[in-house]
Structure 1
Amino acid sequence: MKNNKEILFEAKELCKNFGSTAALKHVNLTVYRGEVRGLIGENGSGKSTISSIAAGMQPATSGEMYFKGQPHKPATMIDGAKAGFGMIVQEMGTIPGITIAQNIFLGQENLFKKHGFISLKDMYKEAKKALDAIGFTDCDPKMYIDALNMQDRKLVEIAKVMYNKPEVLVVDETTTALSQKGRDIIYKLIKQMKEENKAVLFISHDLDETMKQCDTLTVLRDGELVTTLEKSEFEPGKVKSCMVGREIGEHYYREDKICTYDKEVVIRVENVTTGRGLTENVSFELHKGEILGIGGLSHCGMHELGRAIFGEEPIVTGKVTYAPTGEEIVNARIAMKHEMGYVSKNRDIEALVLTASIRDNIIGAGFDKVSNHGIITPKSEKEYVGKQVEVLRIKCAGIDQAVKFLSGGNKQKVVFGKWIGRGTKILILDCPTRGVDIGVKAAMYEIMVQMKAEGKSILIISEEMAELIGMCDRLLIMKDGVISGELKRDDGLDEKAVIENMI
């Protein structure tokens, strides 16, 4: 017992191996009723692994689990849900091509079976109740899931998990994919679970958010449990030190306060309106050696604009040109010809082939850099990929390991490796540090500063205000599809000025 609270879940000597890689090493974890337990650590530390084993997503290699005092060994997530575990996964957990209601009740269709047939009417009615229960009221369960954006699909996942009334709710990096409205829904549910004497396992790389939401923090590093901190011990410096095993400064953004870049323009955006109508008559220029930021609230159009600049989003009016030659960028092939790269917000769907190897993902964007008269030798391919693994410190079993087995931060490093490897001079980054730990963030910011020093250009689109303020020379604010303001680093970027232009 802890503070006279009942033990709800226990893991004893839990181990998980992926081939020769040990993801969990004899981890012991005890979670109590009425507790919000944070699991924190760098990418690859094991926090998602232990929670996914508890929820039934994958089996442990060895060790034991107990739930409500009974042995717990779910074979699937459906088994886990029946037992009382609900997990909102880090990646997209909805199935395209079917309705919202069908997604919510996937695997539970028998709930609506009458005389051998599934009553869609009853399913839609119950799905509406599930959505309303979490506060997602402006959603028709008859719609196909494909009509929703990524954030709203995540809300559907939450409704699905909460419909089964879990006694342990696992929130795995969910808030990074949500707007403030979605985050508020999650926070409300966490409070509700606590009040109902249930438990929450909360995983987030936002340290401030984690310390605010959690009662205790369990720190994992390289698959081992390092320590568990009580609320009274929450202190950013101490937590970071426990996570990475070394001291990390409070500030890992740019240290200078000067807006510096070359007069030469490399990308010119002129009166661009995108095909889905989320941006309207947007114009600006990106300079050589500049880190230009674009920020705004959800649905402001900034993510679609980033895709359009790289030639991946239809443009109805206006144009994007590579300024030195004047050539219009109408597709990704032309963008890459001018040494442009694009890191998508939707990493697992748009930026990576999860079932392919690290080698295939990185070399996929660099064939033209390593081929000799159309021929790529195994040696040159191995050297090219190996260099990126070494430079970016990608934690893996080898370059032929499937990307799907990497942690979120190491997946993102692979995406960076695709573009850094080919010597990209103009890099478009859409939420580049979403779902990565502070160590990986620091490494990515270091790469950005280095690229700037080399005279390369970066367009960073981000939902993290601190990131934009900390890294950009200029910051463009988007609201309702148009640019509502421009702020410069040497004018003193601050949160107040940014927020005033956003709302």
Structure 2
Amino acid sequence: MREKGEILVEVKDMCKNFGVTVALNHVDMAIRRGEVRGLIGENGSGKSTVSSIIAGIQQATSGEMFYKGQPWKPASNLEASRSGIGMIVQEAGTIDSISVAENIFLGNYGQFKKGPVMNRAKMNAEAKKALEKIGVTHINPALPARMYDMQERKLIEIARTMYSDPDVFVVDETTTALSQSGRELLYRLMHHAAAENRAVIFISHDLEELMEHCDTLTVLRDGVIIDNIEREDFEAGDIKRKMVGREIKGNYYRVDNDGYSGETVLKAECITTMNALLCFSLELHKGEILGIGGLSECGMHELGKALYGLEEVVDGRVLLPGSGTVIKNAKTAFRNKMGYVSKNRDTESLELEASVAANIQSTGLDKNRSFGLFLSFKKEKKYAQLQVDSLAIKCVNMLQPVKALSGGNKQKVVFGKWIADDADILILDCPTRGVDIGVKAAMYQLIYEMKKKGKSIIMISEEMPELIGMSDRLLVLKDGKVNGEFLRKDGYHQNELIECMI
């Protein structure tokens, strides 16, 4: 265990309220030099809130902070960054319409300006150095950020944060957006920062990850710090109990070996896309959970989009055999009772400025009409309230904007709109990304219940335990093709799956 140094950041009696919601309730915490401090708790427990206040993203309602022994109340994230506190936020932290270099130096363009003229060549060269500093060489600083996928945009954020070697490095649910190689890169940066007598605040829902990389774990529940646990006292069952205030049974996943119908409900017939898939074929059956796994560049995320008509299929076709319908766009997919949960929920699955109710109701515009003509307020309210209640979505009320919810509750809203629609085929891309242990357990149970009702599910995931735990059949992708097929009834062997991936 690393030797901890002097206190670098101290939080005293901090409270944060969002209207009637109490996000932080008299929180005290001290972060020392040389440590990796893990924060864990259920969605809405206050982890991101306390970290974002330290990083100047929002202000506390009351309480005080100290940084390097001095009172600390940053007016903005930019002020905190310039003072040595850098944070990688949970959701998208890049602007798609500007270049990679502009994203890296956002708010700090002065060093590249001479009068009104921007020296873009100099900025691009410095951005290249920033990327190389964290071990990334394949991203072109001159290109718009939108040219890169979710993982690469997250690497851009890491490069921006680490460019100035922050004294406090805050990592908020970042690993869920990264492949294994990206995660290893981030872990190296975290441990290097701690070894240089700086501090890391690491927020994650992955308990194994936290136990492996943290020196101390702070457990939060409902805005209150329940315990600070030192590395030598880490015990998974104890941490889970403290997180949720109750016993959590060890197995979240299916324990059955039930099969599925022989009826094919969805087919991909030798589909090829512009960049990812090459003559790719699959069949999904009624009542089947079909797992899709592989490394992040294997084409699995593009496959989900192609099956739902969100990515152009340049050859082959996606077919619903029962009706003979060819899925060419998302509108056709939706009208044929298909649903799609994107890995990137904030930009592709939700309207953040809209309310919880409006997001759920978005799938029920045809169902909630009176006389087939006018939207019925009563029907719409019932349609949304049913999902809020059954999924236990934590919100002040249904009119609360989705952007104010925690990551797990946002994901519940995404699930809710497709459950409300009673979709027969669900394509789930990383469905439990950024959600806590309790919400994961609920979602796995929900997926299993849908299977038992005869729904058909494609589960795309970068999490091996999730795929092994839930899939009836598992396809491993590599370079846009199936590189292995495995069946639940035969038993899954992790080493075999990994060999097919790499």
TM-score band (shorter)?
A: over 0.9
2:120 is aligned with 1:117: no
Give the letter for the 2:419 counterpart. Answer: I
> Within 2, Cα distance between the matches of 1:277 and 1:167?
40
Q: Where do residues 265-414 of structure 1 align in structure 2 (5 Å cutoff)? A: 265-274=264-273, 276-372=274-370, 373-414=372-413
Cα pair 2:5 2:197 within 8 Å, conserved = no
Which residue does the alignment assign to 1:476?
A: 475
Matches within 5 A, 1:124-143: 124-143=124-143
Contact 1:259 1:474 in 2 (8 A): no
Map 1:24-423 → 2, pairs under 5 A: 24-256=24-256, 258=257, 260-274=259-273, 276-372=274-370, 373-423=372-422
The AA in structure 2 aligned to 1:304 is E
Instruction: Give SS of 2:332's match.
Output: helix
User: Residue 361 of structure 1 contacts residue 418 of structure 1 at CA under 8 Å; is this kept in 2?
Assistant: yes
Counterpart residue type for residue 203 of structure 2:
I
Gaps of 5+ in 1: none
Distance 1:113 1:375 in 2: 56
TM-score of the pair, normalised by structure 1:
0.98
Please give the per-residue CA displacement for 1:187-236, whole angstroms capped at 9, x wherever unaligned: 11111111111100000111111111100000001111111111011111
Point out the more displaced range, 15-24 or 406-415.
15-24
* Further displaced range: 21-30 or 329-338: 329-338
Contact 1:88 1:171 (C-alpha < 8 Å) held by counterparts = yes
Greater displacement, 115-124 / 363-372 = 115-124
1:443 aligns with 2:425: no
User: Deviation of residue 374 (structure 1)?
Assistant: 2.3
Change (3 A) 1:369 1:165: same
Paired with 2:294 and 2:191, the residues of 1 have a C-alpha distance of 28
C-alpha separation in 2, matches of 1:153 and 1:489: 35
Once the two structures are TM-superposed, the CA of residue 406 in structure 1 deviates from its matched residue by 0.3
Instruction: Give deviations 1:150-207, integer Å, cap 9, x for gaps.
Output: 1111111111111122100000000110112211211111111111111000001111
**How many pairs were matched up?**
500
The 3-state SS of whatever aligns with 1:469 is helix
Cα distance in 2, alignment partners of residues 4 and 463 from structure 1: 34
Residue in 1 that maps onto 2:464: 465
The 3 A distance-change label for structure 1 pair 288 and 4 is closer
Contact 1:205 1:436 in 2 (8 A): yes
Which moved further from structure 2: 147-156 or 389-398?
147-156
Give how far 1:97 is off.
1.6
- CA shift digits 1:73-123 (9 cap, x unpaired): 011100111221100011111111211111111111111222442222221
Amino acid corresponding to residue 288 of structure 2 in structure 1:
E
Give the drift of 1:4. Answer: 6.8
Is the CA contact 1:259–1:488 (under 8 Å) kept in the aligned structure 2? no
CA distance 1:248–1:116, shift in 2 (3 Å) = same
- What secondary structure, in the 3-state scheme, does the structure 2 residue paired with 1:369 have? coil
Indicate the SS of the match to 1:95: coil
CA distance 1:327–1:83, shift in 2 (3 Å) = same
Counterpart secondary structure, 1:254: coil
TM-score by length of 2: 0.98
State the secondary structure of the residue aligned to 2:367: helix
Counterparts of 2:194 and 2:9, CA distance in 1:
15
Q: Distance in 2 between matches of 1:325 and 1:95?
A: 42
SS at the partner of 1:17? strand
SS in 2 for 1:127: helix
Whichever residue aligns with residue 404 of structure 1, its letter is K
1: CA distance, partners of 2:238 / 2:20: 32
Q: How far apart in 2 are the matches of 1:303 and 1:392?
A: 26
Contact 2:16 2:22 in 1 (8 A): yes
Q: Counterparts of 1:479 and 1:116 in 2: how far apart (Å)?
A: 48
Percentage of identical aligned residues: 57
Query: After TM superposition, where is structure 1 displaced by more than 6 Å over at least 4 residues in a row?
Result: none
Contact 1:259 1:489 in 2 (8 A): no
In the alignment, the residues of structure 2 paired with residue 50 and residue 369 of structure 1 have an alpha-carbon distance, to the nearest angstrom, of 42
Residue type at the aligned position of 2:345: R
CA contact (8 A) 1:87 1:171 kept: yes
Do the aligned partners of 1:409 and 1:440 also contact (CA within 8 Å) in 2? yes
